[in-house]
Structure 1
Amino acid sequence: MAARPTTRRRTTRRPTAAARRGRSAAARRRSTARRKHVTAAGALAALLLTMYWSRIWPYVTATLLLGAAGAAGWWLWRTDRLARAQERRRLRSDLIAAGRRTLTEVDAMTGTEFEELVADLCRRDGCTEVRRVGGSHDNGADVVGRLPDGRTMVIQCKRYRPTSAIASRELRDLLGARVHFGADVAVFVTTTRFSGPSERFAVQNGILAVHRDHLGLWNNGTPLTTLAELNGTGQGDPHHHTR
Structure 2
Amino acid sequence: MINETALLESRTLRSNILERTDALDRVKALSLLPDGMHVTTAMVAKYFSVTVEAVRALVHDHRAEMEASGYRVLTGQELSDFKQLSGIRSHTRSLALFPRRSVLNIAMLLRDSEVARQVRVYLLDMEYLARTQPVENPAPTDPAALDTRIDQRITHILGRTVVPMFNVLIATSGEHRRELIELRADIENVERKLCWHHKRLATLEGDAPADDVRAKLNAMTWRAFEHHVAGLLRRDGCVDVVVRQARTDRGIDITGRTADGRTVAVQCKNRSGRWTVPSADMQKFAGAARAIDQADVALFVATSNFSHESEAVAKLSGVITVNREELEAWSAGVLLKALR
TM-score by length of 1: 0.50
Structure with the greater relative contact order (CA < 8 A, sep ≥ 6): 1 or 2? 1
TM-score by length of 2: 0.36
Please say which structure displays the higher CA radius of gyration: 1
